[in-house]
Homo-oligomer: A and B are copies of this chain.
Amino acid sequence: MQLSIIKISGNIIDDDSRLSAFLDNFAAVPGKKILVHGGGKLATKVAEGLGVQQQLVDGRRITDAETLKIVTMVYAGTINKNIVAQLQARGCSAIGLTGADGNAILSHKRTHASIDYGYVGDVDVVNTSLLTSMLLLDKTLVFAPITHDGKGQLLNTNADTIAQELARALSAGFEVSLIYSFEKSGVLLNADDDTSVIGRLTAADYEDLKDRKVIFAGMIPKLDNAFAALRSGVTRVIIGRAEELPLLLTGRSGTTIQHA
């Protein structure tokens, strides 16, 4: 059975008309599906309003106790429930979840030799049985990027990581397509030319393009993650513009990353 796991990033969530258009497309995706959303600028706005200082260490945002409260409010409350209500209006029966709900995603507080990231979670386990039951009941799952440690502590967790961990775990029972929406049209042969999208990328292609320095810098960790997902059972990873979701899923837009 096919399952599409689609990650959207903050720039879509911040723009009501883009979000609405995306949700039209998402609701029309056939079959089982999961949406994972990031944060957007609302959390920063609420933090500023409440006078909570954003702490940055080496350019990384630190999730202190007050920031955790705010991201829980904004991600699991405002953003998650508005997306769910809007999907319902489009005839798509969605359920909004965090990793705490049904113990779906267990994580632990990140430990780092020199930086205290605060209440940030690194994923340990995805409990697939409840998620599978809900998918089989034709429910669409909408994940906010919050998990828990099983001891009562919520943890702020990277949305890309959540999408990837869900994809890996659920690939035991589903043929999973993992779609990352992205600010470009896909993996480009020429970073300055948005029309130079590589439609299909295999591991052999990737090694070759890395050797030739065609793919470099920020794309390398993204693609390493994509190939790691394939190695752990995900059928395909697709990278492209959220606006082109229907075309991404049929391979007519974006970059589809597959074993061979």
Contacts and interface: CB of A to CB of B under 8 A. Distances in A.
A130 B94 CA distance: 11
A93 B102 contact: yes
Interface stretch (A32-40, A146-154, A201-209, A216-224): A146-154
Interface in A54-98: 69, 72-78, 80-82, 84-86, 88-89, 93-98
A157 to B, nearest CB: 13
A51 B21 CA distance: 32
Contacts of A133: 133, 137
Nearest to A106: B88
* A contacts with B: majority SS: helix
A223 to B, nearest CB: 33
12 contacts: A72-B77, A72-B82, A76-B81, A77-B77, A77-B80, A82-B154, A84-B98, A85-B153, A86-B152, A88-B103, A95-B101, A130-B137
A95 B85 CA distance: 17
Copies in the complex: 2
A260 interface: no
Interface in A124-169: 130, 133, 137, 139, 146, 148, 150-154
A49 interface: yes
Given A46-B50, A130-B139, A100 B84 contact: yes
A88 B130 CA distance: 14
Contacts of A139: 102, 130
Given A49-B50, A89-B150, 8 more contacts: A49-B49, A50-B50, A73-B74, A84-B98, A84-B100, A88-B148, A93-B130, A96-B100
Contact of A95 (B84, B94, B97): B97
Contacts of A130: 93, 95, 137, 139
B88 A95 contact: no
